[in-house]
Amino acid sequence: MQESFTTPKFARNVNIEFNKTLNERVSAYFSQRKISKHANVNMVVKTVFMLALYFVPFVFTFYTDLIWLTLLLWFVSGLGMAGIGLAVMHDANHGAYSSNQKVNFLVGAVLNLLGGNPTNWKIQHNVLHHTFTNVEGFDEDIDAPVKLLRFSPHTAWRPVHRFQYLYAWFFYPLMTIMWFATKDYKQAVRYSKKGLVTSQGKSLASHWTSIILGKIIYAAIFLALPLIFAPVFWPYVLLGFVIKQFVSGTILALIFQPAHVIPDTSFENPGDSGDIQSDAKVHQLLTTANYGVKSRWFTWLVGGLNYQVEHHLFPTICHVHYRGISEIVRNTAKEYNLPYYTNKSFFSALKAHGKMLRMLGQKDCPEFVHI
């Protein structure tokens, strides 16, 4: 039986001039330079690089019986897996990779070869996280998969949370292995009941079919084939697979968490009123933070997701343009006396996230709604 799914309401008729000005300035950035907001040659090169980083080491595991080299190859493949997740399929599933939606679909479908499901990802990430960032009950990125973790001051506190700043980091490597093992099935059930699957233009039957086939294909390629044909003893294949998943999961979690779960950002709880205090665009400024933006190589590696503010304001713009529009966003926010949160480096952002984990471990943690 389908449940009713009522979403919170953002404030209207506020910050109208800011929204209009920002949109006009960003549009002018592209029109004046006569460039597309989608992928360019650099993005295509990055796509080829990340795909090669993922698949080439994996293929070489079939040609060596050296245990240390096999495990190293799985490790490198995990780096490629994270790279695809951050810098390739992420843009495609936002519709930012190309103006041709067939291209976005094909590139986004690579997520199946990472153990995930594109439709579930779009619902969790595009529909819920991007719209209702840090909103209790709607943003699943702050809805911890286990009760040992607390990512929002509105989540029920437990005594064990006092120590989460010490142990939370050990849960982050599980991110991608949970995609493969349990998460997609649970999400499919939940999203089906809420009508979110059909809202994506998919029938329930086709959605479940795509999930099951995707898992079978992923398991066949990355588990069955190496277990049968790789020269090393089978336990080392399983260990290598786990290493790949842990490497990618750790990287993905550590890139996303410092962008939202830090002391600077706001956390909303619509409650019975169902109202959010800010408008949709300013809400993104209040709940999102950048970090490490001065490092070009870091920006390249993480798919521009250190420019998280720009990404949340303009998710359909390819990440290769975030550096270019960041000055526009920063200056416009300053002009209208609105926040633009940023941490100097990736490590200072991780430190801020650790501090937030410790603060959320307190029973009397403040609500962090900076309006």
User: What is d(CA 111, CA 252) in angstroms, rounded to the nearest whole number?
Assistant: 14
How many separate domains does the chain show? 1
Residue at 304 is within a domain: yes
Beta bridge partners of 275: 9
Residue at 347 is within a domain: yes
Residue at 58 is within a domain: yes
What single-letter amino acid sits at 222?
Answer: F
Residue at 9 is within a domain: no
Residue at 155 is within a domain: yes
Structure tokens at 157: 């506190």
- 309: region left, alpha or beta (phi > 0 left; psi from -120 to 50 alpha): alpha
Residue span of the structural domain in which 216 resides: 16-360
The pTM of this model reads 0.94
DSSP characters for 268-332? B--TTTTB-SS-HHHHHHHH-EEE-TT-HHHHHHTTTTT-HHHHHH-TTS-GGGHHHHHHHHHHH
DSSP characters for 76-99? HHHHHHHHHHHHTHHHHHTT-S-S
Residue at 5 is within a domain: no
Residue at 2 is within a domain: no
pLDDT tens track, the chain, 371 positions: 566 678 889 988 889 999 999 999 999 999 999 999 999 999 999 999 999 999 999 999 999 999 999 999 999 999 999 999 999 999 999 999 999 999 999 999 999 999 999 999 999 999 999 999 999 999 999 998 889 999 999 999 999 999 999 999 999 999 999 989 999 999 999 999 999 999 999 999 999 999 999 999 999 999 999 999 999 999 999 999 999 999 999 999 999 999 999 999 999 988 767 788 899 999 999 999 999 999 999 999 999 999 999 999 999 999 999 999 999 999 999 999 999 999 999 999 999 999 999 999 998 876 654 43
